[in-house]
Structure 1
C-alpha cells in the first residue's frame, strides 16, 4: 500500500482511494448549519477554532487563506460537496471562517467566469 502523499497517509491510498468514508469526516451529518452555495466564497478570519477539529478542517482552513469557493475547497479536499459544506459550516460556526454568498442574478452572465471554465475544460481534454 503506497500513500498518495506523505501528508495524506493513512487517509488516501493510490489503489484504494480514500480509506475513511466521507460521512465519517462529517460525523454522519449531511446538512450544514449554514446555507452554502457551490459558488459561495469562504475565507479565514484569523481566529483559532476552539476544541478538536479533524484533519480535514485544518486542510480546509489552509485552503481558505484567500477567498475560495466551496466547490474549489471540495475539489482540493477530494470530498463530496455535501461533506465539504458541513466541514465549512463547522468552521463558520466557530468563527474561523467568514463567507460571502453569491448573489443569483439569472439575467446576467459573468463572461470572464464562463471563459475561465471553458479554458479549464480545454486543459483537461
Structure 2
C-alpha cells in the first residue's frame, strides 16, 4: 500500500525564495557589518532611477524612515539577520541610509551609559 503524499500549503511550505537569492548570492556584506544595536535611519537622498532596489530593500528603506536597529528590521521583515545585514550594506553604499552615532559611555564617569543599556535591554526583550 502506498503512503499518502503530503501536501504543504501556505506558510507550511516555507519560504518561496531562498535567502541567497535575495542577496544575489552574497553571504557577507561588502564592508563591515552593522552592530546589532546600531541605529540606522534613512537619509533624505532620493533613490536614483538607475539604482535598482529589490522589494525587500525598499521595505527596509521604508522601515528606516524611523530610526531602527538591524535586529529590529530582521524581526519586522521576518528575514534572517544575515540577509538583512547584506541588504542594509547595499542601502548604505547607495547613500540611502546612515548610522547614527551613539554615545555608549557617559562623559562624566567613563562607564557605560545606563540609558543606552536600558534601551539595549528593551530591544532584546522585544526579540
- Which category of TM-score, normalised to the shorter sequence, fits these structures? 0.7 to 0.9
1:41 Cα deviation after fit: 1.1
**Structure 2: runs of 5+ lacking an equivalent:** 1-7, 106-110
- Deviation per residue, 1:25-54 (Å, 9 max, x gap): 010111112321111111110212332111
1:97 Cα deviation after fit: 0.6
Picking from 18, 21, 24, the partner of 1:21 is 18
- In proportion to residue count, which structure has more strand? 1
Distance 1:115 1:56, change over 3 A: closer
| 2:122 is the counterpart of 1:116 | yes
Ranges of 4+ aligned residues in structure 1 off by more than 3 Å: 101-105, 117-121
1:32-51 equivalences in 2 (<5 Å): 32-35=29-32, 36-50=34-48, 51=51
Which has more radius of gyration?
A: 2
The normalised TM-score by structure 2 is: 0.72
Aligned length: 110
Q: CA RMSD in A?
A: 2.5
- Deviation per residue, 1:44-78 (Å, 9 max, x gap): 10212332111000000111001100111111111
SS of 1:91's equivalent?
helix
**Structure 1: runs of 5+ lacking an equivalent:** 3-12
C-alpha distance in structure 2 between counterparts of 1:73 and 1:52, whole Å: 20
Aligned to 2:91: 91
